[in-house]
Amino acid sequence: MIHIKDISKTYNSGKHNELVVIKNVTLQIENGEMLAIMGRSGAGKSTLLHILACIDKPDRGTYELENTDITNLSEYKIALMRNRNIGIVLQNFALIPSETALSNVSTPLYFSQIPFFQIKKKALDALETIKMSSYKNQRVSTLSGGEKQRIAIARAMVNNPKIILADEPTGSLDTKTSDEIMGIFKMLNRNGTTIVIVTHDLKIAESCNRIIRIEDGVIL
C-alpha cells in the first residue's frame, strides 16, 4: 500500500542552520496494518508522517501510495490523493472551533467526489460509528479534549480512506480517554483501515501490530 524508498528530508538546505531530519528511510506499510512510529522529540517521526500524509515532500527518494508514485505529482493531484486515501488525526485536533461537530466531520466530503446532497448523511454515519451523533449540532469549542479527538477521528474516516495517519493522537488526553481513542483506532483497523500512529508513548505503541523506531532521521 505504502512504499517509501531511500527518502531524505533536509530543512534549510545549504544554509548554516541546515538540518537533516530524515536520512535514506525505506519503509513498507501493508494494507490492514496498525503501525506505531516511535521516537524521541526531534527524531524525525512527525516529518516522516507529514511525508506519508503527502503534506510535505521528500528531497530525495520515492513514495508510492497505492502503486502511484506521488513524488512527481502536482499539488492538485496530491491533494486529491490525500482526500481519497488518507485521513489525518493530529494532537491539536485541527478542528474548526466555531463550527459544529457535523460541519467539521463534513469538511473532507466538500472536496471529494461525493454528491452534495449525500454529505450530511455520510457525516452523520461517521458520527454514529464513533457514537458521537448526539453531539452533531454542538460547537466544537464547547467539547472536551476527548470529544474533540473523536470528532477528528470521525472526520478522518468519513471519506472511507484506506489509511489513517495519527500524530500523537492521545498526546493531550488523560489515560482513560486515551484508551477510548485507541479503542476506536483498533475498531477501525479491524474494519480494514490501515492505521499509522506517531507516538512517544510505549503503551500506545504496544497496542499496535508493529512498531518502528526512528532516531536522528534513521529507522533503527
Partner 1 sequence: MKLIAIAYNMFRQHIKLNLMLIIELSITLLIMVYAINAYTINNTKVDILQNAKNGYYYWSFPAKISDIDNYFENPDNDKVIKLQQLKNFTKDKPWIIGVSDHDDSYIILNKEIAEKNLAPEYDQVGRVCLYDEVTLENFHYPLSEGRWFDPLPKLQEGHIPCVIGGGLAAKYEVGDIITGYENRIPKSNLPLVENRFIVIGKLRKPEYILALNNTVYIHDSDKTHYWTPVFNPEITDSLLMISPISMVNRSLGKSKQSKIDSEIVYYDKKATSGQVQKLGEFLNQGYSLDRKDLIAITSSQRDETIYTFGTVFILMFSVSFVGLVSMCILTTIKSIEKFKIYYLVGAAKIKTVAITLVFALYFLVSSGLLFALLLLYAYNADTIIFPSYYFELYPNTILGLVFVMVPIVVCSFLLPFLEISRTNIINLLKK
Residue span binding partner 1 (CB under 8 A) among the ranges 24-32, 85-93, 137-145, 211-219: 85-93
Place of cell 495517519: 165
Instruction: Tell me the DSSP string of 68-124.
Output: EE-TTS-HHHHHHHHHHHEEEEETT----TTSBHHHHHHGGGGGSSS-GGGHHHHHH
Site residues for partner 1, 130-169, by CB under 8 A, read 155, 159, 167
Nearer Cβ to partner 1 (16/76)? 76
What are the cell numbers at 180? 477510548
Site for partner 1 (CB under 8 A): how many residues?
A: 32
For residue 212, the cross-strand partners are 37
Cell output for 12: 534549510
90 binds partner 1 (CB under 8 A): yes
Residue of the chain from 10, 112, 133, 138 that contacts partner 1 (CB under 8 A): 112
Of 193, 199, 139, 209, which Cα lies nearest the Cα of 170? 199
* Run of H or E residues at 148: helix 145-157
Binding mask 20-59 for partner 1 (x = CB under 8 A): --------------------------x---x----xx---
Cβ closest to partner 1, residue 167 vs residue 207: 167
Q: Which of 31, 92, 118, 209 touches partner 1 by CB under 8 A? A: 92
Strands 68-69, 60-65: pairing kind: antiparallel
Q: Which residues bind partner 1 (CB under 8 A)?
A: 46, 50, 55-56, 75-76, 78-80, 82-84, 86, 88, 90, 92, 94-96, 98-99, 103, 107-108, 110-112, 116, 119, 155, 159, 167
